[in-house]
Amino acid sequence: MRTVNMHEAKTQLSRLVANAAAGEPFIIARAGKPLVKVVAVDAPAVGATSRLGFMQGQFTIPEDFDRIGAAEIEAMFDGDE
């Protein structure tokens, strides 16, 4: 996310707002310290989108997932590399 200083925000406000409306939010900072975040009005609220399950049904997990590589790991601990 782009951070702009107060002066740049004043001089480039139209372009920055157009970009924010197109889905590119930005942060306005004063003396390097972030003050506000500018986002489009219709942007989803923070935490409103769920990442859990976003790839549901797109792949499968093998039945032996928790045992994959068990023999190699055991050999490393036993020193039988």
In the chain, what are the domain boundaries?
2-40+53-78
| Residue-level pLDDT at 48 | 66
Q: What is the 8-class DSSP label of residue 79? A: T
Q: What is the 8-class DSSP label of residue 58? A: S
Q: Which ranges of 1-81 does DSSP label H, i.e. alpha helix?
A: 6-11, 13-21, 70-78
- pLDDT single digits (tens) 49-80: 677 788 888 988 889 989 999 999 999 998 75
Q: Quote the pTM value.
A: 0.53
Nearest to 27 by CA among 8, 49, 46, 47: 8
Of the chain, the percentage scoring pLDDT greater than 90 comes to: 52
Which CATH number applies to 2-40+53-78? 3.40.1620.10
- pLDDT single digits (tens) 13-49: 999 999 999 989 999 999 999 999 999 988 666 666 6
